[in-house]
């Protein structure tokens, strides 16, 4: 690599070669010359007129060395003034070049790039010894040129490998962070964390098009997206940035980079705010919004649904490597956003379905009924917990608590089918809880319902309760004095597991002022704790609040029992006898 590759032409090492030539051959001028498309430059030079010695270059109109490169051979001239090819060369008059001997200089790829030359201001017959010395020095000079270039290539290779490792590390960190995301807010927060730590960004921000809520599984905007307007909506991050809120909802038009990037499907890069202000004066950037900035279309397989923006606190010239890294980071983020949008839509649909299937409790004389449902903290954990209550044709009240195995859309759908089938069996049968569960179990296969569920079916008739338990936590009976009793029977399997087995039934008397509490396992289970400990806590909580009306009792128990984020859905049904 020659020094002039970085703007500086003179090089002390090549000046030494020029001095060696002048001394060995006894000439007034010696040069290490590199020939370019429109000029020649002299990394090594001695003896030139002062102005040329300072600038170290001439146009090709003053070049003899160009013919060494063109011919691929030494050029030896005793008197240029009589040479047909050189006699009109301006170097004769301006540089006093009369006699010239130039030997080819080669780079690491064996390409001739210039010459090592000796120049005399008088005619001269070059001896064999002169030319042999010049050839030897040219070979040494070529070796240094090749070594420099090879070192440069090696350094570039190391730099490139380092860049690849760094980029891979950034993308790995982002990938790891995005793996834990569930919502677009999670994605925006993870992106900013990684961009700040590894890219030195001031901020990293996501905007989604107003139609992004209609995104389908293939990344296409839905048919009704036009009615939502053509706007860019800021994705909230857990990192506070007041300035971004001014652009929370902006038109997706050419007044901002967001609109141009979204509709144009091409990124925009600005070295500093002046560049952006010139193109988008309406935005009015400030130092608080960063200096350098990059805007990338956010999408999957060419289907764009938003824009990613990165902002740095200083000016930045975006290299090709920078752009590759930003593009890859955007691609990772887009996939996570698409997944989050689809998950949110799916979970919301399931929650609506689940909420729709939860019963509006009937009003029953002599009974105070209340129920609550609490979803798990993880939004994708849609469960199959449900409660139900209905008045039978004979005036008795049927009570149900159940939990379908699983925490997904299928569990929610199975819960809806089981609830409907169970209601039908309750109305069609003789009112026996055990008989109802048996008939329900036997009906699942003919109905095509492939589900496993725990449940309790109870029947309250006057002051008596009968119940059948299919693998569910036992209901709790609290009497007016605060004494508690678990309504237990012989163990029966889950519904859907062994339809031919008989079901057992229990029966108990109820005093006025007593309460029955039905619940799903999410109320009493905690990680690392024995379930008996959870049942004891429930018994203490319910006993201490035995005088509460049903609604107040249920809310108080939930406050006591549920600490932190729920790992599982919880359904609770309370019945108090007036």
Residues whose CB falls within 8 Å of the CB of residue 162, separated by 6 or more in sequence, listed in order: none
Residue 552 lies in a domain: yes
CA distance linking residue 168 with residue 187, whole number of Å: 19
Both 496 and 572 in one domain: the answer is yes
Residue carrying the six token digits 């600490």:
563
Burial of 322-346, coded b for 16+ CB within 10 Å and e otherwise, reads beebbeebbbbbbbbbbbbbebbeb
Both 293 and 377 in one domain: the answer is no
Both 319 and 362 in one domain: the answer is no
pTM score of the predicted model: 0.52
Residue 169 lies in a domain: no
Q: What is the pLDDT of residue 523?
A: 92
Both 373 and 309 in one domain: the answer is no
Is residue 104 within 8 A of residue 115, CB to CB? The reply is yes
Residue 171 lies in a domain: no
Point out the domain boundary residue: 301, 325, 350. Answer: 350
Could you tell me how many residues make up the chain?
578
Q: Which domain holds residue 462?
A: 358-577
Point out the domain boundary residue: 350, 373, 391. Answer: 350
Q: What is the dihedral of CA 247, 248, 254, 256, to 10 degrees?
A: 30
Domain count, the chain: 3
Residue 77 lies in a domain: yes
Q: List 208's β-bridge partners, or say none.
A: 233, 306
Both 334 and 426 in one domain: the answer is no
Q: What is the CATH number of the domain that holds 445?
A: 3.60.40.10
Cβ burial, residue 93 (10 Å; 0-12/13-18/19+): exposed
Give pLDDT tens digits along the chain (578 positions). 454 554 588 999 999 999 999 999 999 999 999 999 999 999 999 999 999 999 999 999 999 999 999 999 999 999 999 999 999 999 999 999 999 999 999 999 999 999 999 999 999 999 999 999 999 999 999 999 999 998 888 887 777 776 667 667 777 787 888 888 888 889 999 889 888 888 888 888 899 998 875 444 334 444 444 435 788 888 888 776 656 667 788 888 888 899 999 999 999 999 988 888 888 887 765 555 678 999 999 998 888 999 999 998 899 889 888 898 888 888 888 988 988 888 777 666 666 666 666 678 999 999 999 999 887 765 445 568 889 999 998 899 999 999 988 766 677 778 888 888 989 998 887 889 999 999 999 998 888 888 899 999 999 999 999 999 999 999 999 999 999 999 998 878 999 888 888 899 999 999 999 999 999 998 998 877 888 999 999 999 999 999 999 999 999 999 998 876 667 788 999 999 98
Is residue 370 within 8 A of residue 518, CB to CB? The reply is no
CA distance linking residue 132 with residue 468, whole number of Å: 111
Both 448 and 499 in one domain: the answer is yes
Q: Which helix (H) or strand (E) holds 45?
A: strand 39-46
Both 543 and 511 in one domain: the answer is yes
Residue 283 lies in a domain: yes
Residue 172 lies in a domain: no
H helices of 300-367, in order, are: 320-357
Q: Which helix (H) or strand (E) holds 195?
A: helix 184-199
Residue 222 lies in a domain: yes
What are the C-alpha distances in Å from 266 to residues 260, 274, 323, 325, 394?
8, 20, 12, 15, 71
Residues whose CB falls within 8 Å of the CB of residue 574, separated by 6 or more in sequence, listed in order: 369, 370, 371, 515, 516, 517, 518, 550, 553, 554
Both 113 and 236 in one domain: the answer is no
Question: What is the separation, in whole angstroms, between the first and last Cα of the chain?
Answer: 97
CA distance linking residue 339 with residue 342, whole number of Å: 5
Point out the domain boundary residue: 152, 171, 196. Answer: 152
Q: Tokens in use for 309? A: 């923006």
Residue 514 lies in a domain: yes
Both 372 and 474 in one domain: the answer is yes
Q: What is the pLDDT of residue 302?
A: 81
Q: What is the CATH number of the domain that holds 333?
A: 3.30.450.40
Q: Which helix (H) or strand (E) holds 399?
A: strand 397-404
Both 88 and 65 in one domain: the answer is yes
Both 445 and 488 in one domain: the answer is yes
Both 474 and 567 in one domain: the answer is yes
């Amino acid at each position: 690599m020659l020094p002039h590759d970085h703007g500086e032409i003179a090089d002390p090492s090549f000046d030494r070669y020029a001095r060696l030539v002048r001394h060995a051959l006894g000439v007034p001028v010696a040069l290490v010359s590199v020939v370019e498309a429109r000029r020649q430059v002299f990394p090594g030079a001695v003896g030139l007129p002062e102005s040329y010695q300072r600038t170290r270059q001439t146009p090709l109109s003053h070049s003899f060395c160009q013919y060494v490169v063109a011919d691929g051979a030494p050029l030896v001239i005793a008197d240029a003034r009589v040479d047909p090819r050189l006699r009109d060369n301006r170097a004769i008059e301006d540089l006093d070049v009369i006699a010239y001997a130039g030997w080819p200089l080669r780079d690491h790829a064996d390409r001739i790039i210039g010459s090592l030359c000796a120049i005399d201001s008088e005619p001269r017959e070059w001896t064999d010894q002169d030319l042999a010395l010049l050839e030897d020095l040219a070979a040494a000079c070529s070796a240094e040129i090749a070594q420099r270039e090879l070192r440069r290539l090696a350094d570039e290779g190391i730099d490139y490998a380092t860049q690849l490792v760094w980029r891979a590390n950034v993308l790995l960190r982002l990938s790891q962070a995005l793996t834990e995301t569930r919502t677009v807010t999670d994605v925006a927060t993870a992106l900013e964390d990684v961009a700040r730590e590894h890219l030195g960004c001031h901020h990293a921000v996501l905007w989604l098009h107003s139609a992004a809520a209609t995104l389908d599984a293939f990344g296409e905007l839905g048919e009704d997206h036009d009615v939502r307007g053509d706007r860019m909506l800021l994705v909230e991050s857990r990192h506070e940035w007041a300035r971004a809120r001014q652009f929370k909802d902006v038109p997706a038009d050419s007044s901002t980079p967001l609109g141009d990037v979204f509709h144009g499907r091409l990124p925009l890069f600005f070295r500093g705010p002046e560049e952006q202000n010139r193109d988008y004066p309406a935005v009015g950037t400030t130092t608080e919004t960063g200096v350098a900035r990059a805007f990338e279309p956010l999408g999957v397989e060419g289907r764009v649904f938003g824009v990613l923006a990165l902002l740095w606190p200083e000016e930045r010239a975006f290299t090709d490597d920078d752009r590759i890294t930003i593009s890859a980071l955007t691609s990772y983020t887009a996939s996570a956003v698409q997944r989050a949008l689809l998950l949110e839509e799916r979970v919301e649909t399931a929650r609506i379905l689940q909420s729709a299937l939860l019963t509006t409790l009937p009003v029953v004389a002599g009974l105070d009924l209340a129920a609550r449902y609490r979803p798990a903290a993880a939004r994708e954990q849609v469960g199959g917990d449900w409660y139900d209550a209905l008045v039978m044709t004979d005036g008795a009240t049927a009570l149900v608590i159940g939990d379908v195995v699983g925490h997904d859309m299928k569990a929610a759908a199975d819960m809806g089918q089981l609830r409907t089938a169970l209601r039908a069996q309750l109305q069609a049968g003789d009112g026996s809880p055990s008989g109802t569960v048996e008939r329900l179990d036997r009906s699942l296969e003919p109905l095509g319902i492939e589900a496993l569920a725990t449940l309790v079916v109870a029947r309250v008739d006057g002051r008596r309760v009968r119940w059948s338990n299919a693998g569910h936590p036992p209901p709790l009976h609290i009497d007016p004095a605060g004494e508690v009793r678990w309504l237990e029977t012989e163990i029966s399997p889950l519904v859907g597991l062994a339809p031919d087995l008989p079901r057992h039934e229990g029966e108990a008397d109820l005093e006025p002022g007593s309460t029955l509490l039905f619940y799903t396992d999410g109320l009493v289970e905690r990680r690392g704790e024995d379930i008996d400990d959870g049942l004891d806590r429930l018994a203490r909580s319910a006993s201490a609040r035995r005088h509460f009306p049903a609604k107040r009792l249920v809310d108080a128990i939930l406050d006591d029992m549920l600490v932190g984020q729920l790992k599982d859905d919880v359904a609770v049904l309370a019945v108090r006898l007036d």
